[in-house]
């Protein structure tokens, strides 16, 4: 692509070289924790080399935690999460208070309803849920 005599080149580079993460933080030895939507990987890096035999992959990621938040709210708290599209907001007669009116959509696919519930649970997870860093777990 050329714009008024200047040549522009689009470059994209994505790296899964864990030792480059270590060097980016200014260290040659580190423990890299890469947590994504579907899993978490721990990679020890020593003197710039990833110790491949010591790499551990856990099948717990952000989606697993989101599903557990949804299950906790629905099962333990006995609260039904309703998708946002199923409400219509109207003002009362005095135009002072908003009243939610539940709508029923009969042709909504269950997967779309599940997706909308997961979005609400993801919002809860990212804004409300905190991880307990204490050694003692309270029941």
- Which pLDDT score, from 0 to 100, does residue 132 have? 74
Helix spans in 1-139 (H):
18-24, 62-71, 110-127
- The residue with tokens 């080399």 is 49
Nearest Cα to 125, choosing from 63, 57, 48? 63
Q: What is the C-alpha to C-alpha distance for residues 16 and 63, in angstroms, rounded to an integer?
A: 21
- Check: CB of residue 117 under 8 Å from CB of residue 66: no
Enumerate the domain spans of the chain.
6-60, 61-130
User: Which pTM was predicted?
Assistant: 0.66
CATH of domain 6-60: 3.30.420.40
Return the SS3 of 98: strand
Q: What is the C-alpha to C-alpha distance for residues 104 and 95, in angstroms, rounded to an integer?
A: 25
Q: What is the C-alpha to C-alpha distance for residues 58 and 37, in angstroms, rounded to an integer?
A: 11
- 135 Cα distance to chain centroid: 25
Q: What is the DSSP letter of 95?
A: S
All residue ranges of the chain with pLDDT < 70 are 1-16, 135-139
- Which pLDDT score, from 0 to 100, does residue 13 have? 45
């Amino acid at each position: 692509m050329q714009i008024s005599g200047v040549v522009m080149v689009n470059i994209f580079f994505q790296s899964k070289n864990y030792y480059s993460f270590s060097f980016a933080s200014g260290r040659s030895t580190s423990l890299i924790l890469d947590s994504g939507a579907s899993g978490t990987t721990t990679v020890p890096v020593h003197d710039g080399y990833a110790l491949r035999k010591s790499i551990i992959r856990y099948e717990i990621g952000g989606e697993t935690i989101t599903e557990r938040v949804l299950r906790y709210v629905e099962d333990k708290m006995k609260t039904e999460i309703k998708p946002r599209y199923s409400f219509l907001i109207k003002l009362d007669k005095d135009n002072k208070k908003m009243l939610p009116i539940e709508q029923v959509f009969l042709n909504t696919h269950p997967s779309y309803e599940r997706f909308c519930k997961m979005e609400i649970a993801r919002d809860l997870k990212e804004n409300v849920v905190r991880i307990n860093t204490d050694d003692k777990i309270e029941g």
